[in-house]
Structure 1
């Protein structure tokens, strides 16, 4: 009788321990399942917002066409050259209005480059599409000799040369933006084209006034 009691008690204890273990595992599995389900739900809720390597800029939502793609592909190197010209002003520009415009160009065009790179990444299109040697065939792009002449100038001579070249450069950008306004489809790209036309047209007016008094 004593042996039976001990065996029975042992079985009961073992069964109890097994039940506790299974309960604990079930609680862990339930928690884990909830976590995985939440993560999966979160991931599937944002499939159209891929991570951007462009400083936080996002892909342009909505439909797009070849004109939108070409606008971004051509405007990126165009803006890059404008920034290169602006950097040459450091230590060379003398006129306060020229220096003020240089700052405005840098503040506007660097973020716009990041935006357009993000658009192209989101659209699955390359940044470069073989538009010529470094983009020099595009409207308003400076030649290598133009850039050398600007780099060689200082003071008032730099201010005058910068104004002359940047007017031509901006005129080219405005023409490209006008093409996007007419032929583009993506609302975000067309809005940027509007900004380019507005801001760079105003800067051309300011640069012409600078040339008149230099």
Structure 2
């Protein structure tokens, strides 16, 4: 008798909590959750990655030996600041800390060009600078594609995944353009 009573109570509880509207209800632990650790990690790492792109492009626009390298560099800036603002807004909404500014360090984190490569580029001039810059920016953009592929695979935030898809498309196009450039 007691087992039957427990079964009836359980069925009533189930009916009252999840089936009253005819729609499948999300489990309480998932209610309102629209992102996961992979989404947060992506924004925390892609913001400094974009900041480093801007820094590397500035180096080429100021030190590039050829017009082609300076023009290629300038073409890489489309949307970087807009993406940074969007990712910062997501991090704020998720109560996540903001990443360190790329100009303050952080070059050892995944996806970033290391300090030694930046110093070597900074000390180069003319054709040597152009050759190093072209190789470095390809490596940097490829890292951004890898980071974006990872969040598409492991993230759950729809807007983050959409941004990652856009980054992949744009950076693969930019990589192809850079590889066509000659110092």
Q: Same fold (TM over 0.5)?
A: yes
In 2 relative to 1, CA 72–101 (structure 1 residues): closer, same or farther, beyond 3 Å?
Answer: same
**Is the partner of 1:196 in helix, strand or coil?**
helix
Which TM-score applies when normalising by structure 2?
0.74
Q: Is the CA contact (8 Å cut-off) linking 1:74 and 1:135 kept in structure 2? A: no
**Which aligned segments of 4 or more residues in structure 1 are displaced greater than 4 angstroms?**
none
Partner of 2:79: 108
Q: Is the CA contact (8 Å cut-off) linking 2:107 and 2:113 kept in structure 1? A: no
When the two structures are aligned, how many residues end up with a matched partner?
A: 148
Structure 2, unpaired ranges of 5+ = 1-31
Please say which structure displays the higher CA radius of gyration. 1
Partner of 1:167: 138
Which TM-score applies when normalising by structure 1?
0.64
Deviations 1:151-174 (A, max 9, x none): 122222222111100111111110
Partner of 1:138: 110
Structure 1, unpaired ranges of 5+ = 1-60
Tell me, yes or no, if structure 1 residue 205 matches structure 2 residue 176.
Answer: yes
- Once the two structures are superposed, the pairs formed by residues 144-155 of structure 1 within 5 Å of their partners are 144-155=115-126
Q: Is the CA contact (8 Å cut-off) linking 1:150 and 1:162 kept in structure 2? A: yes
Give distance in 1, aligned partners of 2:58 and 2:106: 18
Q: Is the CA contact (8 Å cut-off) linking 1:62 and 1:187 kept in structure 2? A: no
